[in-house]
Amino acid sequence: MNKTDRVSPSKEYWERKLLAVTSSHSISNLGSIRWELCLCLLAAWVIVVIFVSRGIKSTGKVAYFTATFPYLMLTVLVVRGVTLRGASDGITFFVMPQWEKLLSPDIWFNAATQLFYSTNIGWGGMITMASYNERSHNCFRDAIVINFVSFCTSLYAGFAVFSIIGFMATESGLDVGDVIQSGPELAFIVYPRALALMPLAPMWSALFFFMLFLLGIGSQHRFTQRILSAV
């Protein structure tokens, strides 16, 4: 048996089953269309069309739900995560600074990129939402509150992620730094793999992916609203 090509079930599902990635794929050979993903994308756009079809009143209600309900599920994941064995190792890895990293330009570049993405600076989202306010509305206060909430949310989500990553590292007999990945791999490979090790794994996985679904629909909905407002 060849043990050099072993992959985790979550990685195998993500790369080979869902994305159908093979070694022959290149810029000139992108592979076939994944009709399952096309149907999911179509369903997402149908949901967004329903949300925006009744104007700003329905849009506001949807925004309240998609922006606040994920906090409830995030809280559930935090509470469950910090009670797991090895969670303290993950949290310590998260909160303990590595001062030498501050000298790396890549760290500051990634931090600035995250800031622009999390606050939608330059994307028109803030301007679109602000256009529905009264003229006397205190936008300066909103700017402070939004940035503060964004900072706290990132910190809060870090506890949800790293507590469970610490549990996964303990169960696997690895260091926390050895199981951390960035980008889509964290959400679709590493975190699901950690959830699979927990009791009642299907329930926690369903909560996690439902939270991602709401966040994705909320972002897609706000993006569509910008275009409609400009038109």
Structural domain spans, the chain = 32-230
Q: Which residues of the chain have pLDDT under 70?
A: 1-8, 23-31, 181-183, 231
Cα distances from 16 to residues 11, 37, 179, 181, in angstroms, run 8, 14, 20, 19
What's the CA gap between 117 and 149, in Å, rounded?
Answer: 14
Tens-digit pLDDT profile for residues 154-205: 899 889 888 888 888 888 787 887 777 666 777 787 778 778 877 888 888 8
Which pLDDT score, from 0 to 100, does residue 39 have? 92
Which pLDDT score, from 0 to 100, does residue 46 have? 92
Which pLDDT score, from 0 to 100, does residue 64 have? 80
**Does residue 91 contact residue 82 with C-beta atoms inside 8 Å?**
yes
Tokens of 218: 């909320």
**Residue positions in the annotated binding site for Na(+)?**
118, 215, 219
**For residue 27, what is the DSSP state?**
T
Q: What is the model's pTM?
A: 0.75
Work out the end-to-end distance of the chain between its first and last CA atoms, rounded to an integer number of angstroms. 61
| DSSP state letters, 19-64 | S---TT-BTTB-----HHHHHHHHHHHHHHHHHHTT-HHHHHHHHH
Counting every residue, how long is the chain? 231
Which pLDDT score, from 0 to 100, does residue 231 have? 66
Cα distances from 178 to residues 11, 34, 172, 186, 190, in angstroms, run 16, 32, 10, 13, 11
**Residue positions in the annotated binding site?**
118, 215, 219
Which pLDDT score, from 0 to 100, does residue 28 have? 64
Identify the burial level of 212 via C-beta atoms within 10 angstroms of its C-beta, where 0-12 means exposed, 13-18 middle and 19 or more buried.
middle
Which pLDDT score, from 0 to 100, does residue 5 have? 58
87-95 vs 139-172: helix axis angle to the nearest 10?
A: 130
